[in-house]
Structure 1
Amino acid sequence: MLPTELLMFRVKGGLVEPRRLKATTANLRLAESVIAAFEANLGKRRAELDEELRQLEAGRTDFKVLRGMAHLLTNSCATFEAGGDIEPSTVREKVFGLAQTHPPSRHRRTLVLEQAAAALSTERSLTPEDIGELLYSDLPDQQRMVTFDPPEPKELVERFNLAQAQGMLYRAYALVITARRNEPARYKQLLKYTKFFGLMVTVEGDPNYGFTLTMDGPTSLFSSTTRYGLAMAKFLPALLHVTKWDLTATLKPRKDLEWVDKSEEEWRFELTSEDEYVSHYKPPEEHDSALEAGFADRFAKLDTPWVLEREVDLVPVPGGVIIPDFRLVHPDGRNVLVEIVGYWRPEYLRKKFALLRKSGRTDVIVCVSERLNLEKAGVDPSDFDERLIWFKGVLNPKDVLGLAERLTGSS
């Protein structure tokens, strides 16, 4: 992401609009120039890269764009390390210790570096020049670029645009997302990232019309920090993998800027899946496990009017959300949810059954592998008896369909 000083936006009627670059020839050439500067400085000190970037920036009115691109490349595509096989702190300790034994003279530095080189030479012979370079090589501007994975110029422009949008959320204290019916596995990734970034989520809605996810925290808790807003900003690239959604964020205004309307008590930032921002997060796999993938493949070979849908439902429960693995839908409107429990860790099993119990839902078929020792895990599945399927090895979709028919009857 970008530091606050590199964010560019305007505010119209309380609505925040971040700066967004088009993939024009000029912008792509700028991105190409910044990338080329990094490539040319591979193996060199960061101070040399910074100097080349300053030369690129000279006379440009869009210097903030150049700095933003350089910041993103520095933090996501390049690796900087102190050079040499010896820790700079070790070199400094030796040099400073030797310096105390020599009276001030014009030859003092040379003598100290020569003696330090002789004392520190182990696997290879060090020169006084080597010692001079190692002395402060751990300082940021003296570190060398050891790796650089260059993006395409268009990718850098896209990353810059996303970083500007993320920056709008730094001061967010409430976020409302309307996620409509989506492709498989998208909801699960969405909830995974809300948990990973510590966001508190309230879920309402249904799979046919979509879900509303509200993420907020008492403003009194977040009035003096941007930590929650930063979490929302980090969450945004995950949201981009959801296929249809709208987002509205409530922000604290930047009263430190001279050009803003000081009378505004809050700002809004709005975004939709139609805005075509591009995520750099890895897209989710369609299936979480071979067990689920195998069940879906076997179901596809059956001649049945029932349709198997992948992770299209969010089931709110106190203290969490369940995303059942599948939803079975009949053309006459009947439907049931299917949860496959094949993971063995006791903590996972206890949490899974606790959430299923808290949900109060009676339309969830629970499929459990016989290899799991529920008793040892402290799990009693007896209250799921009418909706429980035990399977050994592979889950037979005919067993699931049979139970679905018994649970729902015919319309």
Structure 2
Amino acid sequence: MLPTDLLMHRWSGDTVVPKRLAIDDTNLAIAQNLIELFQAHQGKSRGELNQQLQELEGEDTDYRLKRGLAHLLSNSFSEFETVSPLEPPMLRDRVFALSAQSIPSNAQTTVTLEKVAANLTQELGHEVLAEQVRKGLYADLKENQLLTQFETPTSEALLHRYNLSQVQGVFYRASQVCINAHRNDPGEYKLLFRYMKLFQLMTYIEGDADTGFTLTIDGPTSLFNASTRYGLAMAKLLPALLHVTKWDLESELQIKDSYSGDRRKGKFTIDAECGLVTHYPPGKPYDSMLEQSFVEKWNKAKTEWKLEREVDLVPIPGSVMIPDFRVVHPDGRTLLLEIVGYWRPEYLKKKFAQVMKSDRDDIILAVSERLNLAKAGVDFNKTPAQVIWFKDKLLPKQVLDLLEP
């Protein structure tokens, strides 16, 4: 994402419109020049790269655009590392301690480096050169770190990332975000809710899978102390939302005017037809090896019951529960199956609370015997769900025995 000083937007009434680049020959050429510059500087220092970037910016009026693209290349596609055969802090300690015993001069500096190299050669049992000591002294400073890896994007992909980052920046100053996720594939909801949990966003969820969900998220400026970290977390949700087919979003904003310093209220709207491109990967087929193993064994079992993954969404007050599986019989009978193999007490409390709030008696809970429910404060006897206990792996026979007693 982009830092605040590289974000650009304009006002249209009380609506904020982030800057977005056209995917045209001019902008593609700018992006390609920057990409080639990074490619040419692999193995060189960040300082050398930054110097070349400054020269490329020149005195052009689009310097913020180039600087923004370079920021994305540096932070999202590059890996910089401290490369030194010896630990820089240790070298500095040795050199500074020895140099303090003599009068500073160019000649004395050479002598000091040679002495430190000789001492280290003796201590480490292999040759250490004075030049290695000199290069390693400040190898850990940011400008001296080397560009060791560069994942080369296409120029079009870089422009898409830039446009996405400009829109993400709007959420740094959001007081509230409301997302209407219309009737979509349940797997899309699952991925969206998973990212919301990952980013620890304070969200109230209403709706169901048939009509869609409304997600109301408190923004960073609604908190007692506006949190930059929370604003970044909210911005990170946008690429996840782009995996959902049908949605619209409206956000209330509080933006500080760059001239007066006063806070100005605004709004921002966007929907599924926005043209933004996500770089987040699609959801994984399974949440765990436990689930994958269960499916593989079920597919080999001789049964009329069909196993479907994450097709039901169970609305509960202020949230939603997405059971891992639904089992369906040809005669129309259906039950939901949730595998509880995760050990954290907070997770266990939340999972059993969800089952209680759902007030559903068609849920099967497969619970690992390794879990300490008592320590987590969970009493499974109070749940309306049917409970199956398993050891290392959940076997289809355990579920089928419950389905066909």
| Structure 2 residue matching 1:182: 3-state secondary structure | coil
TM superposition shift of 1:15: 0.8
> Equivalent residue for 2:22?
22
| Structure 1 residue matching 2:223: 3-state secondary structure | helix
Q: Indicate how the Cα distance of structure 1 residues 102 and 219 shifts in structure 2: closer, same or farther if over 3 A, else same.
A: closer
Q: Indicate how the Cα distance of structure 1 residues 244 and 107 shifts in structure 2: closer, same or farther if over 3 A, else same.
A: same
Gaps in structure 1 of 5+ consecutive residues: 404-411
Aligned residues of 2:324 and 2:339 also touching (Cα < 8 A): no
Q: Indicate how the Cα distance of structure 1 residues 170 and 349 shifts in structure 2: closer, same or farther if over 3 A, else same.
A: closer
Query: Amino acid of the residue matched to residue 356 of structure 1?
Result: V
Query: Amino acid of the residue matched to residue 126 of structure 1?
Result: V
Query: Amino acid of the residue matched to residue 341 of structure 1?
Result: I
**2:216 and 2:236 mapped to 1: Cα distance?**
16
| Structure 2 residue matching 1:174: 3-state secondary structure | strand
> Equivalent residue for 1:269?
268
Aligned residues of 2:45 and 2:147 also touching (Cα < 8 A): yes
Greater shift, 11-20 or 143-152, is seen at 143-152
TM superposition shift of 1:165: 0.9
| Structure 2 residue matching 1:114: 3-state secondary structure | helix
Match for residue 172 of structure 1 among 171, 174, 197? 174
**1:382 and 1:308 mapped to 2: Cα distance?**
27
Note if 1:366 corresponds to 2:363.
yes
1:3-28 CA-to-partner distances (Å, cap 9, x unmatched) read 11111111111111111112212222
> Equivalent residue for 1:388?
386
> Equivalent residue for 1:377?
373
Aligned residues of 1:342 and 1:372 also touching (Cα < 8 A): yes
| Structure 2 residue matching 1:185: 3-state secondary structure | helix
Q: Indicate how the Cα distance of structure 1 residues 84 and 66 shifts in structure 2: closer, same or farther if over 3 A, else same.
A: same
Aligned residues of 1:190 and 1:239 also touching (Cα < 8 A): yes
1:196-218 CA-to-partner distances (Å, cap 9, x unmatched) read 22211111112112110001169
Greater shift, 120-129 or 5-14, is seen at 120-129
What are the within-5 Å matches in structure 2 for residues 29-48 of structure 1?
Answer: 29-48=29-48
Query: Amino acid of the residue matched to residue 12 of structure 2?
Result: K
Q: Indicate how the Cα distance of structure 1 residues 56 and 153 shifts in structure 2: closer, same or farther if over 3 A, else same.
A: same
TM superposition shift of 1:176: 0.4
> Equivalent residue for 2:82?
82
**1:76 and 1:265 mapped to 2: Cα distance?**
31
Query: Amino acid of the residue matched to residue 270 of structure 1?
Result: T
What are the within-5 Å matches in structure 2 for residues 135-174 of structure 1?
Answer: 135-174=137-176
Query: Amino acid of the residue matched to residue 388 of structure 1?
Result: Q
Q: Indicate how the Cα distance of structure 1 residues 129 and 376 shifts in structure 2: closer, same or farther if over 3 A, else same.
A: closer
**1:22 and 1:291 mapped to 2: Cα distance?**
46
Gaps in structure 2 of 5+ consecutive residues: none
> Equivalent residue for 1:352?
351
TM superposition shift of 1:125: 2.9
Sequence identity, in percent? 38
What are the within-5 Å matches in structure 2 for residues 7-406 of structure 1?
Answer: 7-121=7-121, 122=124, 124-216=126-218, 221-222=223-224, 224-257=226-259, 265-288=264-287, 289-290=291-292, 293=295, 310-317=310-317, 321-326=320-325, 338-341=336-339, 343=341, 345=343, 347=345, 348-359=347-358, 361-362=359-360, 365-369=362-366, 372-373=368-369, 377-378=373-374, 381-382=380-381, 388=386, 393-394=395-396
Question: If the length of structure 2 is used for normalisation, what is the TM-score?
Answer: 0.83
- Computed over aligned residues only, the root mean square deviation of the Cα atoms, in angstroms, reads 3.5
| Structure 1 residue matching 2:184: 3-state secondary structure | coil
1:127-155 CA-to-partner distances (Å, cap 9, x unmatched) read 33322221211111111112222112211
1:181-203 CA-to-partner distances (Å, cap 9, x unmatched) read 22242222222222222211111
Q: Indicate how the Cα distance of structure 1 residues 293 and 274 shifts in structure 2: closer, same or farther if over 3 A, else same.
A: farther
Query: Amino acid of the residue matched to residue 96 of structure 1?
Result: F
Query: Amino acid of the residue matched to residue 363 of structure 2?
Result: V
Equivalent residue pairs, number? 389
Aligned residues of 2:256 and 2:264 also touching (Cα < 8 A): no
> Equivalent residue for 1:406?
none
> Equivalent residue for 1:409?
none
Q: Indicate how the Cα distance of structure 1 residues 23 and 209 shifts in structure 2: closer, same or farther if over 3 A, else same.
A: same
Aligned residues of 2:186 and 2:209 also touching (Cα < 8 A): no
| Structure 2 residue matching 1:275: 3-state secondary structure | coil
| Structure 1 residue matching 2:194: 3-state secondary structure | helix
TM superposition shift of 1:402: 8.6
Greater shift, 56-65 or 4-13, is seen at 56-65
**1:226 and 1:187 mapped to 2: Cα distance?**
27
Q: Indicate how the Cα distance of structure 1 residues 32 and 220 shifts in structure 2: closer, same or farther if over 3 A, else same.
A: closer
| Structure 1 residue matching 2:162: 3-state secondary structure | helix
